[in-house]
Amino acid sequence: MTGLMQGKRGLIMGLANDKSLAWGIAKKLAEHGAELAFSYQGDALAKRVKPLAESLGSDFLLECDVSDMAALDTAFDTLKERWDTLDFVVHAIGFSDKNELRGKYVDTSLENFLMTMNISAYSLVAVTKRAVAMMPNGGSILTLTYYGAEKVVPHYNVMGVAKAALETSVKYLANDLGPQNVRVNAISAGPIKTLAASGIGDFRYILKWNELNAPLRRNVTIDDVGGSGLYFLSDLSSGVTGETHHVDAGYHVVGMKQEDAPDI
């Protein structure tokens, strides 16, 4: 099975290193013939992103802090100079002050609430608005979310609230853009050890709990996420929009601790 993405061009936003969920998706897309551009935040990441992009045959890198609307405009202007149209975007971006990803949600500061909402939820709206202008023949936009949007996961706090806004944004954006054949979906990934995840309090416990209690009795990998990403960004999912799809080894269907799970 090859070539599902042949002739399609897309932007990957949120690649930090080879542990990133964006990397799992990008690899799978390149394997299937997609032409990729990558946006990164800040010079420190450029050094890591450049060789990864090159290994997938891309020399198209754009700097973009998604909380800066002028930087977003510049990034999409640069994209337009080289590509007249765009077929897909991967939005794999989230951020919050790690001091508030532990302890109680009730202690969230206004400043961090607004910043987390801006970078982790509003940025999908801002990116989508600019991307759609380059999608005259339709397209597919994919974001990444987590179960902490639906249920309380200790320490996830304000990020859970931002992910709830993100998931609802997916539905509203899907409805706005459906008439233009632009689809908007989310993958709700199970916990995976990445740079962003390392900021979440007790993350190792969350990983262990999921491994012991998910129906598949394991954690998911970035390759699992990549496979589902390929489905959403290719024509395989041509009839699907507004969806939040769980790639979590089934964890979200379980209501209590498994009988065979030891105490941890």
Q: Which of 10, 160, 191, 229 binds ligand NAD (CB under 6 A)?
A: 191
Q: Which of 189, 214, 230, 249 binds ligand NAD (CB under 6 A)?
A: 189
Q: Which of 67, 108, 181, 221 binds ligand NAD (CB under 6 A)?
A: 67
Which residues neighbour 42 within 8 Å (Cβ) at sequence distance 6 or greater? 63, 65
The answer to the question of residue 195 lying near ligand NAD (CB under 6 A) is: yes
The answer to the question of residue 65 lying near ligand NAD (CB under 6 A) is: yes
Torsion of CA 162, 220, 204, 255, to 10 degrees: 70
Q: Which of 116, 128, 194, 213 binds ligand NAD (CB under 6 A)?
A: 194
Complex with ligand NAD: residue 111 or 235, whichever CB lies closer: 111
- Which residue numbers belong to the known binding site for NAD(+)? 14, 41, 65-66, 93, 163, 192-196
The answer to the question of residue 94 lying near ligand NAD (CB under 6 A) is: yes
Q: Which of 11, 29, 45, 141 binds ligand NAD (CB under 6 A)?
A: 45
Asked if residue 134 lies in contact with residue 83, where contact means CB atoms within 8 angstroms, the answer is: yes
The answer to the question of residue 220 lying near ligand NAD (CB under 6 A) is: no
The answer to the question of residue 196 lying near ligand NAD (CB under 6 A) is: yes
The answer to the question of residue 92 lying near ligand NAD (CB under 6 A) is: yes
Which residues neighbour 133 within 8 Å (Cβ) at sequence distance 6 or greater? 76
Which residues sit at the interface with ligand NAD, rule CB under 6 A? 14-16, 20-22, 41, 45, 65-67, 92-95, 119, 144-146, 189, 191-192, 194-197
